[in-house]
Structures are given as structure tokens and as C-alpha cells.
Structure 1
Amino acid sequence: MDMKAYLIDDRFWKNKMEVVRTKMIPYQWKALNDLVEDAAPSHCVKNFRIAAGMEKGDFQGCVFQDSDLAKWLEAVGYTLAWKKDRELEQMADEVIAVIEKAQQPDGYLDTYYIINGLEKRWTNLRDNHELYCAGHMIEAGIAYYLGTGKHTLLDVVKRLADCIDRTFGPEEGKIHAYPGHEIIEMALVRLYEATGEIRYLHLAKYFIDERGKEPLYFREEGEKYENPFYWENSLFQYQYYQAGKPVREQKTAEGHAVRAVYLYSGMTDVARIMEDDSLMEAVETLWDDVTKRQMYITGAIGSSEYGESFTFDYDLPNDTVYGETCASIGLVFWAKRMLEKELSGQYADVMERALYNGCISGMSIDGTRFFYVNPLEADPEASRKDQRRKHVETSRWRWYDCACCPPNLARLIMSIGNYVCSVREDAIAFHLYVGGRVQTPFTDTQIRVESQMPWGGTTKLIIEKAKNSHYLEKFTVALRIPGWCRKWKAEVNGEEVTDLPRNGYLYLERKWKDQDEIRLECSMQVERNYASPMVKYDIGKTAVSRGPFIYCLEEADNGKGLTRISLPSDSLFEMTEGNLETGELDLKAEGMQMLAEGWEACLYRTKRPTKYEKKHLRFIPYYLWNNRGEGEMTVWVQETACDRAKE
């Protein structure tokens, strides 16, 4: 579907997009130009100016620093597709001119090697991110072209892709290799879809098929160029890069979580388009492993700080979790592609869970502070004094030396219309319920969406035909029944629908006329969630949810000692208006807190603690935590049996 097809006009997402457009993108532009006080310098734009011969100096920053500007430009492209902004467009055009000037005659584009010596390029694919930066720049070129109609950056990235295509592949004389950090695969598929050039699709498939073949390229590369291998003696070895074995032989998600889900997204694209059954089987196996054994209830993935990685099934600690924002974003990318493969509610449920929890938790309300790590339990003292929890941030940062997450989140939010619905043959399927208008591919037809979600459960879809159009076209509207919905009711023009959902979607096939109205009511009850007994960290605990949101306790409402709080199994919840965002609904409940009174003089004793006090608890949506200062937070809460509550 065209990225301009869904015009967002929604209380929740429109507000988020306005924050990104007016606060987050301008703020990030300052950060990329090293103009934010008390924030880590980026050097990103300066590196491009040096590479273009416009300034003198050395390359500074991470080796993949180019990707931050690429993601920022992609976010700008989506923004301009949604709402025109002359100042922002001029800003982007000027830096695109710098990028074009930095590009080499053969199409190569990577400031690290342009500045440090082109003779060294392609000598450390494992660690130096050339193809990763190229992938992000390709995504930016496509988005900016589709958002503005301007093709300068698109032409740049086509020349870059052609350079890569001349360099890599199965043919004699080319490098038989693949990237250490994936994303080029799904970027090349998007470029194929934007241009129709089949070479780009074949190159994406090559990178996927070549990965992990013996002899392992990264082993040979390290020996040839004497690149020390950091992970050689680690638990990961080459699976840190998902390169220890061919992708079709990989049954569990391993290694760096962001790299993994970027790879799986590209694999899904290629498998679907090229009808590669064995590749699709591998993707489905990996999906089950990630979402059924290695995913947090917030949609966070990658439980270990060591390598920002997956570990093993059911290993989901809450207080040492990594849960990088980019990893949840990558999970959304993957879920969307799985939906394109098959219209199944399980994929949309995961996409929604990650979007509303693990992703948007990565930014403050005002869009100027960011989380890299997204814990499910936080204690500022532990983060300050325990090396094992040093990475667990209890306050968002203004910027990072490695600032991959902030611009990644910006491009996701500004492209939210791409995730709301999709067209399949003679059907339009709605995965998320977001207010706005969608221009369908069906004759003279658009659909206006009015939705109370994510705070309320009612959505109306109004069919709108062009004026004076009496043409009736038969097509299907497929409505997702969310996994969190226990009761639902659908009507067409006031007449109740009796059909049952298939695979999580309700299919309404009609010859539609102007002003036909579909109404979907989804119950949005407060629920307690329980983890598998295999997740040892959550035994005896519950997590509270309502609709797409996971809720948490925060010190600002409930005081210190959150791990001593318990929720009786018969406690009822009351919805109450929040004060952090428009429409926000917090939850109140009666709980208890174990007292430490009498334990000052002893650490252990044979009598169990029996002193509790009643506690009025307030739960807020998880994504909103840490917007009122630093403090404790927890998602999972001890649950107490009714009889214990009466002691």
C-alpha cells in the first residue's frame, strides 16, 4: 500500500506524530550536528561534510555513525508524506546535497572509509557496518522519494546498491560474503519493490543464502585481514552474527537481538516474494522460538546485556533485562512482514504489543529523552551500585554515543500508517484501529476510521465513495479481533454480524455503497497475566494489562519498596483518568505491602514475615514510566491468595 494511503487523524498517534515532527526530529537534528548541550557529540553530519571535502578533520564517532543520519532522513520522508513542512524539507534537502557530494564516483558511500582510506573498504564486513549503513541509507532514499517526489537521494542509493551488486555475489571475481549487521536484506527488497529492478531482490536472497555457509567467511576474513574476533571464545562465536550455520538450519534465535530480527525480516520478505518454502519454514520456526519462549510481556526481546543478545528459552529476568528499543522496533518490522505472508492474528497481536509497550517506552513524552534499555523492574540504587545492573537505565538520556534507537523510533512512529492495514487481493485488512482515512485500491473508495482505541474499544469504519459515484464494487473488509478481546460485537449498518473470525480476523464481504458503516465493539477489560512456570523470575507474580497496554507500578504513585507489594487475587480494579497524556486511563486497586519493621537487627529468622499494611495502588501504562522523575518501577507484582490478605 502507498505510504500516503493512510492519513492519520487519531488522538493517540496524531499526538505522537506531532511530537516527533515538532520536537523529536528538530531535537535530533541538533544532536546530529553536535548542538545539544550536556549530550554526547554525534559528529555524524560533520563526518559527511569532511567526506564531501567541505571541511577538514578526522572521522569521529561509532563506525556506523552514518546510519543515524539515514534513519533521521527516513523519518523526515515519512513526516513530509503526512504533513508538509517547508523548513524541515529544506533542512533535509541541504544535507542530502552533502551526502550526494560525499558519494564516490563508483557509487560507494561510507564516511568511515572515505575519510580513513578507500583501500580498506570491504575488509571488515563482520564488524564495520558498511552494508548496515548502506541498508539504512537505501531505506531513507525510498522514504524521502515517496514522501516528497524528489529523487536525488533515491538516485544516490540506487548507485550505492549498484556498487554493492557489482562487489558481492556468487559470480567469479566478486566477494562471496554477507554483512555482520543485517538490514541490507530488507532494504534491497524495498528497493526492488520501489524500482522493479530484479537484481536487488536477487542480491538480497544471495546475502541470506550465503550466510553461515562453510567455509565461514568471517573466519576467513579475520585470518586474511588480521581482524581480532571479540566473540571467538564467547558463548556466541559466529552465532552472535547469526552466521554460525546456514539460516535454514537455525532453529532458535541466537546472538545480537537487533541483528537477528532484521535478518528474519529480510528472510520473510524474500521467502514470500520468491515463494521459497524452506526459507519460510525456517522463519516460522524462529518466530515461534522468539515469541513463545524468548519475548517479554512488553514485546521486549534480547534479555542479556552481554552482546545485547538472546540467551536461551524462558530466560527472561526483569531487573537485568536489556530489551533494546531497536530490538522491539525490529520485532514490529518482522511481525508486519509475517502479516504480509499470512493474515493471522498472532502476528498482529505481537506487533501491537511491541508498538504500544516495548517501542514507545523508548521516548519521553516530549520526545527529547530516550531509553536504549527497557527494563521491567528498575531500582535507581541498584543501577548505580551493582555492576550487573549498570546498563539498566532509570532515567532517559538526552542522547547516546551509540544513538541508534532515537532516530529508529522516529522513523517507526512517522510510518505508523504502514502498519495499520494492508491490501490482499480483493480485501483490505485492518490490523490496528487508528483514526484516519485510507484510500483503498478499489474503485472510487476510501474508508474513514473513527476509533476510541487504544483507550476505548469501539471503532467505526465508514465507506466513502466519490461524489456522484453509484458504482458498487465487491471487496472484503477484514477486521482483526485483538487477542486481548474476550467479547466482541460487529454490525454493518446496524445489523449484527453472525460470522465467526478465522485465524483472528472477521471477514466482511459485500458490494459496498457510500456511507455504509461498520461498527466493531471490543471488550477492553482489565486482566491479570501470568508467565509460563518455565519463567522462574515470574512465578507467583502477575502483570496487569488493559487492551494493548501493559501496566506497571511506579514509585511516584506508590512509594518505595515496590518488590514488597502484593496484589490480592480478589482485588478489583478501578479505572481513573491519568495526568500524563490525553486519554490516558490509569488503574487503581487495593494491595498490601510487607513491612520491614522488626527486621532492622536481623537478616534471617525462622518465622516468616507477617506484618503487612494495606496499600492503595495506582498502575500506569508501562510506556509512560519515568516521565515524573527517577524512581523504582515494576511490571510484575507478587500475587497473594485471598486468605493471606485477611491475615
Structure 2
Amino acid sequence: MTMTSLFDFHKIKITDTFFGDYQRLTREVVIPYQWDAINDRITDAEPSHALRNFRIAAGLEEGEFYGMVFQDSDVTKWLEAVAWSLSQYPDAALEATADAVIDLLEQAQWEDGYLNTWYTVKEPGQRWTNLAENHELYCAGHLFEAAVAYYLVTGKQKIIDISCRFADHIDSVFGRNSGQIKGYPGHPEIELALLKLYEVTANRRYLDLATYFIDERGTTPHFYESEYEKRGFTWRSVTNGPGWMFKDKAYSQAHAPLKEQQEATGHAVRFAYLLTGAAHLAHLKQDDARYQVCRRLWDSMVQRQMYITGGIGSQARGEAFSCNYDLPSDTAYTETCASIAVMMFARRMLECEGDAEYADVMERALYNTVLGGMSLDGRHFFYVNPLETAPVAIRHNHKYEHVKPVRQRWFGCACCPPNIARTLSGIGQYIYTVHPETLFINLFVGNTWTHQIDGQPLTLTLEGHYPTQDKIAITVDCPKEITHTLAVRIPGWCDNAVVKVNGDPVNHAPIKGYLHLHRCWKAGDIIEMQLPMSVRPVYAHPQVRQLAGKVALQRGPLVYCLEEADNGCDLHNLWLDERLPFTLISGTGLMQGKTLIQASGVRLRALSDDTGSLYQFDQPATEGESVALTFIPWYAWANRGEGEMRIWVNSQRYQ
């Protein structure tokens, strides 16, 4: 049996005050800014050359390839962001620009369907010779994702045709038949994209090809070894020593077949993209064994290797997971793309099972690391997302070489900015999950959406001021009465939620974090929710050695932090007394419209500037000064200049 997860999520109209502002920012600032970036028009920023590479590949210009092996994906992720934006804000001029880019892609495509500017311009004749490193299939995947989005929103076929020609070519090249390459990508992406392409085209070849790539990964004899030998034992990347990717197969989740893997390991984005495809495949095939593999690896990621911000990948080497409970704050890598991949993984797990844990994690990643990856002005970005910074140390200590204390205008490796843009533009895909008998409401993003149930339209209008305020209303409209189950999520951070239907309290217990409301729905029915957003101290597992004796604050889905702009420097000398009441205040300036937290604490000060030796047998004389600590939402840090920041604060409870 093959299911589908293709529903009209692109027809959701976002009315949310919070994400509505983000979508307007994306449309008015981010998409035009990134268009300038991929056209090399941003001064004092690393050049992109991404569109010029396509023009050279199409024979429209002379020149050499410039950029990363995956530079093509910056263009197709931008196209996907445009597509989702057009679903909210029709724009004839922007659509014409996107059409021109699609025409360029068509001109750069080979007769056999192949499309990749690195191999067209830089290494002709070397196609499919270095799958472990060179991202050909990764770039194909982002093209397919953009094609599906653009087709769904505009109805235009050309980019689907381009993608199908390329996918058909890939299907002829890879597989277990004689003459085919028995290989798979170094960077997963095409797996999840092929499944999207399958749902739009109903072409079974794409489902089978995705299944092949997922199942072939990590089998023996190992493909990377034979590929390495065929290249004459040459390796392009020498960042961590020649052949390090080949030697460390866990980096690419290729150390064992996926069904045998026991824990989250390797490059964090690759891991979550691969599991996104695997979970989607489990849903499409209604394969519980595949789902249980995904569940095991999900638990490893979430329960033992995820930051409070929804970030994954704690170490800079390999942008990878470390080991269980190794979650340093100051050197945290937590690439923005990795948290976007967590959202994608969670979305597909929700299709397999209506368990609010997946939506809780999806929400955690979205409201913290994903939003934090972009500045409030939409023109500066984080690739790496630390949970603690001390700029003076960053400037002098090489272990912080990957950490930036302020967001950057662009990157030579610019995967994150267009990934943020496509995620914010397409946020509607994450709000609901459709099961045959139940419609799950995952995120409380204001919207209006009509879903067909047994051929009858059911329109939901969700209103509120989440995540600032705790009241949500969901209004039903339908021409005929419809008997169905609506399941609303009770967030894991929320105690004492109150839910009413037409004013009557709902008293039954949630099932796996969702309150299932089964009834005959009629026009005008309303679900009212109150999700009390108290400020909650958060403590880490005792095995997280870096966080012993520390506490963090969370309100609703938002994680908070101290920043030097509000609290002065030397944040390590501040101690929070979480036993005293917290006060909510309104932010001003760049923090206007945001809810801040004031708390009681102590600042330790040395009684003398001259404390003697670096180490001594007598405790230096200090005094504790009572202070009011101001915490801001962590996603908004580094918008007021360079300064110290930290999420985890010393707790007076442990003094």
C-alpha cells in the first residue's frame, strides 16, 4: 500500500502577526537581498557566482566555475523560497524573474538530462566519479524540491519537465542492474526530494530510486572504497587530512545500512536529511519497520545529542554530532541548516505517527535556531549558532574559529541563508498533519486553510498572538456538517492547558500530547485554547558535564539568554536566583514588540582590581551585588552589536 502526504499546504494563507511579519520581511527584503547575493551585487560580502555559473554552463558567457561544488543549490533554494512566497503574495515581476531563471536552467541542461554546473564547466567528463564528496545528487535534490514547490504554486510545468529529465537520467545511471553505478550520495538530499517528485508526478521510478538510495547506503562491499580506487586513490578535500571522509564513513552515515545504525552520528545536516527521506518513505509504504528505525535514531538525536535551542551537531570538525551528552555551549556548531533539517525530519515523523514530541521539537528548532539564523533586518545570517559567546576569546582562541559574534552578510558556503528563506516562506507545510481519520494541528501559526474531507471542504481559521500571548482560537467553517477528529497539540512546555469547544470545557486526557476532538463539526464551531506561558527554569541532564550547576529560562517555545547590551560584560560572574519571581517586561528599541524577562540575581565582583597571583591558596575577596537580570529571546541576540551572550547561567541554587 502506498500512501501520500501531498496536500494543499501551499494554499494555506498565513495571517499570523509574528510569522506574517517574517514572511513580509522574506518577500520584501530577504528574497531581493539573496537575489543580489547570487548575482554578486553585495559589496563587502563573499562572491557567489552561482547564477553566472549557470550562464557559463549554458554557453551564454565565457568564464570559469567559481564557488563550492554545491553552488547550484543556492539558486534552486532561492527558487523554492520564491515559490512559497508567491503562494502568499502573488507578484508578477518576481514570478517573471523566477521564470527567467528556470529558462536558464533549461539552457544549461544537457541533452541526456544532466544538470550540474561544476561538471559542465570545471570537470567535464568526470560526472559521477566522486559521489562521496562532490554533491551532484545533493544539487539534483534541491532542484527537485524547487520544482515541486514552483509547480504546486504556479501550475507551470517547465521546471518539473527539467527535473524529470534529470531524474530519469539519474535512474538510468544508478541501481543494481548491469552497467549501472551501485552507489549513493555522500550528502543525502535527493532521497527526500525524489519522494516529493514522486508524489507530484506519480512516477513509480522516483519512489523506487529513493528506496534504492536509502537501502543501498552503508552496504558492503563499500561503494566509497571502490569509487576511491577507481579515482586512483585521489581525494579532493584535504581539510582534515587526505581521504578523511573516506576513512570516517560515519561522517556520511555510510558506516552501516540504515536499519543497523543505533545512534545519531556524523554530519548533522546529512543525518537529518537522510532520516527525513527515510521517514517519508516509511509513511508512503506504511512500513512500520522503517518507522521504528527512524524512531530509534530520532530518540538518539533528541534525548542525548540535541541542544535546548533545537540545534544539532555540536562539533566544528565535520559539522557533526559528538557523543552522548557532549553539548558545549561556547563551541557549539549547530548549523542553521541542521535545525531546518530537524524540522523536516519531525514533519515526516508526524505523518507516520501523531505524537506531539515531534511537533514540540519542530517548534523548538523553529522558534529558536531557525529564527536566530537570520538578523531582524533580514540581511545578515548565522551559519553557526553558539549558546554562549565571549568576543575577546573568539578573537584570540583558535577553537572558536568557526564562531562569529555577529551575523555575516553572506558566506562562500551559503547554504543557510536561502534555506532560511524557503523555510519561512513555506511555513504552512508544518502547521498541520493529515491522517485518514484525524487532522493534527501542530503549530499555532495564525492561518486560514481549507481541507477536503470525503469530498467536503472544511475550513479552519487559527487566530492568536503566539508566542507572545497564550490564547488561541480555531474557528470552523463548512457548508455541511462533517464528522471528523481534530487533534490539537498540548505543548510539552505547557502545564494546565485549558481547551473549550463552543465554550464547553474539554476534560478528557491528551493522547501522545494531542487532545483529540471527535465530533460533528458545523459552521461557527470554535475551539478555544489557553496555554499558560509561565517562565520556566530548565536544567540539563546530569551527564551534560558542561552545564552542571547552571540553569536556563524558557517561556512558551522561546529560549531566553543574557546579552551584554542589557547586563554588562563578564556574564560568567552573574548568578540567577530562579526561586524568586520573574517579571515580564516589554522590549524597547530593536527589542520592541518582544517580551523580555527580568529576574533577580547576583553579580560577583572582586573587592580589588589587583587580586594577586593567577592562582592562590586564599580565596580572592569578592562581594555579591544584587542585580536585576534581563533576558531576551535568544533568537534576537546579536542584533545590537557585538557583545557577550549566554543561555545557561550560574544558579544560586547550587551555591
TM-score tier by shorter-chain length is over 0.9
Q: Distance in 1 between matches of 2:219 and 2:457?
A: 51
Instruction: Name the TM-score, length of structure 2 as normaliser.
Output: 0.96
Q: Distance in 1 between matches of 2:275 and 2:378?
A: 29
Runs of at least 5 residues in structure 1 that lack an aligned partner in the other structure: none
Q: Distance in 1 between matches of 2:593 and 2:362?
A: 22
Query: Secondary structure of 2:597's match?
Result: strand
Is 1:463 aligned to 2:476, yes or no?
yes
Q: CA deviation at 1:389?
A: 0.8
Q: CA deviation at 1:352?
A: 0.3
Query: Secondary structure of 2:319's match?
Result: coil
The answer to whether the 8 A contact 2:11-2:87 is kept is: no
Instruction: Give the corresponding residue for 1:615.
Output: 627
Query: Secondary structure of 1:594's match?
Result: strand
Deviates more, 1:79-88 or 1:176-185: 79-88
Instruction: Give the corresponding residue for 1:76.
Output: 82
Instruction: Give the corresponding residue for 2:515.
Output: 506
Instruction: Give the corresponding residue for 1:392.
Output: 403
Instruction: Give the corresponding residue for 1:115.
Output: 121
Question: Residues 152-203 of structure 1, C-alpha deviation per residue, up to 9 Å, x if partnerless?
Answer: 1111111111110011011111110000001000000000111111110110
Instruction: Give the corresponding residue for 1:585.
Output: 595
Instruction: Give the corresponding residue for 1:304.
Output: 315
Question: Residues 72-97 of structure 1, C-alpha deviation per residue, up to 9 Å, x if partnerless?
Answer: 00100101111101221111111111
1:191 alignment partner, one of 197, 200, 206:
197
Is 1:403 aligned to 2:414, yes or no?
yes
1:149-160 aligned within 5 A: 149-160=155-166
Q: Distance in 1 between matches of 2:357 and 2:47?
A: 41
2:283 alignment partner, one of 269, 272, 296:
272
Is 1:212 aligned to 2:179, yes or no?
no
1:23-422 aligned within 5 A: 23-226=29-232, 227-228=234-235, 230=241, 232=243, 237-422=248-433
Q: Distance in 2 between matches of 1:251 and 1:457?
A: 39
Tell me: CA distance 1:148–1:446, structure 2 relative to 1, closer, same or farther (3 Å): same
Tell me: CA distance 1:204–1:233, structure 2 relative to 1, closer, same or farther (3 Å): closer
The answer to whether the 8 A contact 2:336-2:373 is kept is: yes
Q: What is the letter of the counterpart of residue 591 of structure 1?
A: G
Q: CA deviation at 1:591?
A: 0.9
Question: Residues 330-350 of structure 1, C-alpha deviation per residue, up to 9 Å, x if partnerless?
Answer: 011001111111000111110
Q: CA deviation at 1:245?
A: 1.1
Q: CA deviation at 1:456?
A: 1.1
Q: What is the letter of the counterpart of residue 644 of structure 2?
A: E
The answer to whether the 8 A contact 2:578-2:600 is kept is: no
Instruction: Give the corresponding residue for 1:492.
Output: 501
Q: Distance in 1 between matches of 2:459 and 2:578?
A: 47
Q: Distance in 1 between matches of 2:247 and 2:645?
A: 31
Q: What is the letter of the counterpart of residue 66 of structure 1?
A: D
Q: CA deviation at 1:563?
A: 0.9
Q: Distance in 2 between matches of 1:488 and 1:116?
A: 58
Tell me: CA distance 1:531–1:235, structure 2 relative to 1, closer, same or farther (3 Å): farther
1:597 alignment partner, one of 607, 619, 630:
607
Instruction: Give the corresponding residue for 1:531.
Output: 540
Deviates more, 1:599-608 or 1:157-166: 599-608
Q: Distance in 1 between matches of 2:247 and 2:499?
A: 49
Q: CA deviation at 1:602?
A: 2.2
Runs of at least 5 residues in structure 2 that lack an aligned partner in the other structure: 1-6
Question: Residues 73-132 of structure 1, C-alpha deviation per residue, up to 9 Å, x if partnerless?
Answer: 010010111110122111111111111100000100000111124311000001010000
Query: Secondary structure of 1:460's match?
Result: strand
Question: Residues 440-467 of structure 1, C-alpha deviation per residue, up to 9 Å, x if partnerless?
Answer: 21323201111221111111011112xx
Q: CA deviation at 1:235?
A: 11
The number of residues matched between the two structures is 639
Q: What is the letter of the counterpart of residue 27 of structure 2?
A: R
The answer to whether the 8 A contact 2:141-2:193 is kept is: yes
Query: Secondary structure of 1:127's match?
Result: helix
The answer to whether the 8 A contact 1:489-1:496 is kept is: yes
Deviates more, 1:421-430 or 1:300-309: 421-430
Q: Distance in 1 between matches of 2:563 and 2:86?
A: 37
Q: CA deviation at 1:512?
A: 1.1
1:446 alignment partner, one of 431, 439, 459:
459
Query: Secondary structure of 1:566's match?
Result: strand
Q: Distance in 2 between matches of 1:523 and 1:272?
A: 34
Question: Residues 213-244 of structure 1, C-alpha deviation per residue, up to 9 Å, x if partnerless?
Answer: 11111111011113327575689711111111
Q: What is the letter of the counterpart of residue 330 of structure 2?
A: D
Instruction: Give the corresponding residue for 2:650.
Output: 638
Q: Distance in 2 between matches of 1:195 and 1:372?
A: 34
Q: Distance in 2 between matches of 1:221 and 1:318?
A: 38
Instruction: Give the corresponding residue for 1:480.
Output: 489
Q: What is the letter of the counterpart of residue 456 of structure 1?
A: Q
Q: CA deviation at 1:279?
A: 2.4
Query: Secondary structure of 1:120's match?
Result: coil
The answer to whether the 8 A contact 1:231-1:240 is kept is: no
Q: CA deviation at 1:483?
A: 0.4
Q: Distance in 2 between matches of 1:333 and 1:125?
A: 24
Query: Secondary structure of 1:510's match?
Result: strand
Q: What is the letter of the counterpart of residue 188 of structure 2?
A: E
Q: What is the letter of the counterpart of residue 273 of structure 1?
A: L
Q: Distance in 2 between matches of 1:400 and 1:34?
A: 12
Q: Distance in 2 between matches of 1:516 and 1:254?
A: 47
Instruction: Name the TM-score, length of structure 1 as normaliser.
Output: 0.97
Q: What is the letter of the counterpart of residue 134 of structure 1?
A: A
Deviates more, 1:153-162 or 1:591-600: 591-600
Instruction: Give the corresponding residue for 1:428.
Output: 439
Instruction: Give the corresponding residue for 2:638.
Output: 626
Deviates more, 1:548-557 or 1:225-234: 225-234
